[in-house]
């Protein structure tokens, strides 16, 4: 039994749904390119960063939520008008975002375990 809730979503609408159902909670989201049926993402940086992020999840605050969000296929992501880019203002994948705050780690920043741990453990 973990001290945080893990949620898996696929696409912008499922993401918004998951967030709206958890109002008032500390929500951390890891945005990644879609994984194929072999479990590998089209986004090489996402593949590299995921074990780093997962390795720090024990440090998530008590009662928080961790959303693993697959954003879509590469073509969808490359479109500059996709919902994630337009509304959530994401600039790249992977992005680790503390929802509702300016706290985020983008791309290579997600490779650094100390930065991920810092985000999970500091206010």
Residue 111, C-beta contacts closer than 8 angstroms, at least 6 positions apart: 45, 48, 49, 52
Which among 1-9, 49-57, 64-72, 110-118 is the span making contact with other proteins, rule CB under 8 A? 110-118
The first and second tokens of residue 62, run together, are 């008590």
- Residue count at the site for other proteins (CB under 8 A)? 11
Is 46 marked active-site? yes
Sign for the CA dihedral angle at 101, 105, 107, 110 comes to negative
Residue 24 interacts with other proteins (CB under 8 A)? no
Residue 89 interacts with other proteins (CB under 8 A)? no
Q: Name the residue nearer to other proteins (CB basis): 37 or 122.
A: 122
Is 16 marked active-site? no
Residue 122 interacts with other proteins (CB under 8 A)? yes
Residue 113 interacts with other proteins (CB under 8 A)? no
Residues that bind other proteins (CB under 8 A): 101-105, 109, 112, 114-115, 118, 122
Hey, which residues are catalytic here?
43, 46
């Amino acid at each position: 039994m973990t001290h945080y809730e893990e949620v898996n979503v696929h696409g912008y609408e499922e993401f918004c749904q998951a967030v709206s159902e958890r109002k008032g909670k500390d929500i951390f989201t890891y945005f990644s390119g879609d994984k194929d049926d072999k479990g590998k993402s089209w986004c090489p940086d996402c593949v590299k960063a995921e074990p780093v992020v997962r390795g720090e999840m024990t440090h998530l605050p008590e009662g928080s939520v961790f959303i693993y969000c697959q954003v879509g296929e590469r073509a969808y992501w490359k479109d500059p008008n996709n919902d994630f880019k337009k509304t959530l203002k994401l600039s790249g994948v992977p992005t680790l975002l503390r929802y509702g705050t300016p706290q985020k780690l983008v791309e290579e920043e997600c490779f650094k375990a100390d930065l991920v741990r810092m985000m999970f453990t500091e206010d």
